[in-house]
Amino acid sequence: MFAFLPARVRCRLQPAGAARGRRGWHRDGVHRAAAAVGGGPPWRAAHRRHRRPGSAGRRAERAARVGGRAGQPRPAHRREGDPRIRLQLADDASLGEEGYRLVVGGGIDLVARTDIGLLHAVQSLRQLLPAQAQPEYLLPHVTIADAPAYRWRGTSLDVARSFLPVEYLERHIDRMAFFKLNRLHLHLSDDQGWRMEIKRYPRLVEIGGASAVKGGRSGWYTQEQLKHLVAYAQARGITVVPEIDMPGHVQAMLASYNELACDDVENLAPYDGLEVGFSVLCLSKPEVVHPFVRHVLEEVLAVFPSQEIHIGGDEIKHPLYADFVARTAAMVREMGRTPIAWEEGSVADTGPDMLLQLWNDGYAIDAAVAKGHPLILSPCTYFYLDHGNYAGQPQTYDWCRKEGVPLARVYSFDPSGFKTAVGVEAALWSELVHTDAAADDRLWPRLAAVSEVAWSPAGRREYAGFLERMGRLRPHLDALGIDYHPEPDLGWEEGEAEK
């Protein structure tokens, strides 16, 4: 909740929109969660040390300084006496790693301890600006001091069952940046498809990349495409986290390399159905399976620099399951990274550093919490966005919650009951999501609520205020080209937004 003060300042500024070209910023301003604000000076000069912004800070500086996309009107050049935008890196521990201060007064001051904080500050400034470029801007005098409650503010996209092209992922990253979401979890393998080029095992994409769920899209990413995507995300303050789901959900692997299956397995064909829990690597052949897993992980880690690497581990019951998870987690750790597994991995002896992703609301996770395992919270009754925006929405699931997962339900989640939680993540599974437009409809505006749940403590959130602020951002969603769900709570059932 911003502290809008009565006074206003008239500015002749370049819009905090896109820097030109692929090296610059895209229009990805931010809808902010409730901000801790104050009316007085947010810092004292005696406690401030300025230094030149790093690469991300320079991108933020350009974003606040330069013109928009090609074809957008350019505002007039700054005139003498017009307010300046000042970006400052300050050695202020109270701001944390991602916090910032934004002050609109005689000028516009954006202050943060880190480059990422400056990115957030610039995006919050964008929220105050219209979606389209203007000759000049009338801004409220406002002071915003803000920092996230959780470091993991994520969205998971299942590109394995139905493929999403790189161009869509880039647009999604821009939209994530708009809302200060900072983890993009890519589910790269499942029964219906394998999506990442592994040079040592080319049939994974030759066979697994050619399959998809019935009605969905097949395809795969080269390693160069994924490296580009990682860099694109990093420039916007987002970490891409890969997932190779093992030892279950592996029919695409078995169809590509039959030796990974046990000798008595007859079903070695690509799969396009909706069932789960029927495929498994042959865990009684460790001499075959473990070298394969290690070689795949080595190539995955060479492409994705994220500290955390997801090894899957869901929906599988096998006497050797716990041993496999422990061995695979140890491989990831030996490679200098931190493993993530779905909640079922809590049965393995992995050590408390492994992150666990909770997806089943009723799963008995207390023992893992007692051991100190960090949790990523994705309970399906709140954050599975393949479920309907409303009960009975066509082409959506309801197996986890018959009423669907409406916007108000997403917003109502309170992570504070999980003492080891590092954040939240919403998941879009793609068995029934076969187009870009369908993905947009399932994701937006619900991901905006996810952002606020992850950014602001429950005690500082209020649904009516969220709806008011979110409603004002509809022109920005239109400018981003989002085919969002026309949410009734936002009054979006009919009509076009004012630009």
Q: Which residue has the higher pLDDT, 454 or 62?
A: 454
pTM score > 0.85 for this model?
yes
Average pLDDT over residues 354-361: 98
Considering 61, 80, 243, 315, which one is annotated as catalytic? Answer: 315
Q: How confident is the model at residue 44 (pLDDT cuts 50, 70, 90)?
A: very low
Backbone angles phi, psi at 392, to 5 degrees: 80, 10
Among 75-79, 137-141, 343-347, the range of highest mean pLDDT: 343-347
Question: How confident is the model over 111-125, as pLDDT tens digits?
Answer: 999 999 999 999 899
Largest interatomic CA distance in the chain: 80
Is 315 marked active-site?
yes
pLDDT at residue 337 tops 80: yes
Q: Cα–Cα distance between 360 and 338 in angstroms, integer?
A: 22
> Could you give the angle at which helices 115-128 and 55-65 cross, rounded to 10 degrees?
20
Q: What is the number of other CB atoms lying within 10 angstroms of the CB of residue 91? A: 11
Name, in order, each residue with C-beta under 8 angstroms of 90's C-beta and a sequence gap of 6 or more. 43, 48, 49, 50, 111, 112, 113
Q: Cα–Cα distance between 115 and 241 in angstroms, integer?
A: 21
Average pLDDT over residues 184-209: 98
Question: What does each C-alpha distance from 359 to 156, 193, 377 come to in angstroms?
Answer: 12, 22, 7
Q: Which helix (H) or strand (E) holds 88?
A: strand 85-90
pLDDT value of position 215: 98
Average pLDDT over residues 225-253: 98
Average pLDDT over residues 448-461: 96
Provide the β-strand partners of residue 100.
112, 146
pLDDT value of position 60: 54
CA 17 to chain centre: 21
Amino acid letter at 289?
Answer: V
pLDDT value of position 52: 44
Decide if 414 contacts 459 (C-beta within 8 A): no
pLDDT value of position 137: 87
Average pLDDT over residues 252-262: 98
CA 217 to chain centre: 22
pLDDT at residue 425 tops 60: yes
- DSSP SS3 for 116: helix
Q: Cα–Cα distance between 412 and 407 in angstroms, integer?
A: 9
pLDDT value of position 263: 97
Mean pLDDT of the chain: 86
pLDDT value of position 128: 86
Q: How confident is the model at residue 5 (pLDDT cuts 50, 70, 90)?
A: very low
Average pLDDT over residues 166-188: 97
